Amino acid sequence: MRQRTQLINALRGHLAEYGIVVAMGARNVKVFQQALLDHGTRLPKTVLSISGVYFEQIAALTEKVTELEIALRRETARDGQATLLQTMPGIGPMSAAAIQAFAPPLENFARGRDFAAWLGLVPRQHSSGGKDRLGRISKNGTARHSQASNRRGYVHGKLG
């Protein structure tokens, strides 16, 4: 995913120098190709050929990502625990697979708040005068705890 995004952004940057500007995102690649065809007669041939290489690489990476997503969905559908994890709001096949791969057995946690603390998701504090008032759990966690930050990255698909 990251490589595909880098390629799309590089292509957007290069073609912006020639006045071709398209919205960000992988969903706009087809729009980008059409814009390039529309402006093709005014662009140098080297720009067109290099852009073609970019589009080929983006298409190949998109195909590979799609294959991997299908395989991951298939594997998590077969696994009972992964299917159960996916019943929670916000947990999809990727998060379910990451939790299974990196988290200790879920039976080790007495409640969901303990698992959230293991991830590094901590409740927002509204304390005053020595009285602790804990609010909702934020997704920010604490930056000081690199181990917790790494766990959060694995589960949210940002590391690994």
Looking at residues 119-148, what average pLDDT do you find? 62
pLDDT of residue 70: 92
pLDDT, tens digit (0-9, with 9 covering 90-100), for 18-76: 777 777 777 777 777 777 777 666 777 887 788 888 888 888 988 998 899 899 899 88
pLDDT of residue 40: 64
Tell me the pTM. 0.57
Asked whether residue 110 carries a pLDDT value surpassing 60, the answer given is: yes
pLDDT of residue 148: 52
Asked whether residue 154 carries a pLDDT value surpassing 60, the answer given is: no
pLDDT of residue 14: 77
pLDDT of residue 34: 74
CB 111 within 8 A of CB 137: no
pLDDT, tens digit (0-9, with 9 covering 90-100), for 116-132: 778 777 666 666 777 76
Range scoring the smallest mean pLDDT among 41-55, 72-86, 97-111: 41-55
Residue 20's φ and ψ, nearest 5 degrees, are -100, 110
Between the CA of residue 87 and those of 82, 95, 111, 144, what are the distances in Å?
A: 9, 12, 17, 31
CB 93 within 8 A of CB 124: no
Looking at residues 100-106, what average pLDDT do you find? 83
- As a whole-number percent, the residues of the chain with pLDDT over 90 amount to 4
